[in-house]
Amino acid sequence: MSKFRMIVLLLISTYAGVYAQSKRVEVIKGASSITYRLSHLLHTVEAVSKEFTCRLEIDPANKEIQSVTAQVDVTTFDSGNSNRDSHAMEVVDAMTYPYASFISKSISQQGDSITVTGQLTFHGVKKDVVMKGVTKWFPKIIDIDGEFAISLTAFQIERPSLLMVPVSDELVFTLKATFAF
């Protein structure tokens, strides 16, 4: 066998070995949720969605998350009050912008701590956000708990008011996600 062929075979087998370490996993629906929290002087509102997609590219052998993509239909958030949810959908123009999506740009891990930087598309606006969280690796399962905050005005969303007092500009998202591999 020529030297060139041996090098090509070695490169292919090395590439295949590296590629085989990487695995794509999807969130387990029902066992996972995204919650938003919005504060006002008089009360705090939380709404939950269990209807979202989230995919990870992982290296299970090294317990590394290499990439994250996620998408949620904003109409699936439930605060327990249908009138409030209907108003929230008006505020975020859900008919025009039905989805919020996220694509990671970089991921930093130190022990169980994780920082994911990426681009959030929400209300037709794209902004970089940073989610900080904790990962827990079990045999064949990964749990991720994370949180990030955005500015409503930065995403061109008019802050709703109650008794002529606007809600806080900060909208906090919490992710609790479980993945099987």
Quick: pLDDT tens for 8-48.
444 455 454 445 589 999 999 999 999 999 998 888 999 99
Closest to 48 (Cα-Cα) out of 161, 152, 177: 177
To 5 degrees, how large is the angle CA 109–CA 147–CA 129? 80
109: closest CA among 145, 133, 130?
Answer: 133
Pairwise CA distance, residues 14 & 9, whole Å: 8
| Domains of the chain and CATH, by start | 23-180 (2.40.128.110)
Q: How many CB atoms lie within 10 A of CB 79?
A: 16
How far is C-alpha 90 from the geometric centre of its chain's CA atoms? 23
Percentage of residues of the chain with pLDDT beyond 90: 83
Global confidence as pTM: 0.85
- Cα–Cα distance for residue pair 37/171, rounded to 1 Å: 6
- Model confidence at 160: pLDDT above 90: no
The first and second tokens of residue 15, run together, are: 């590439």
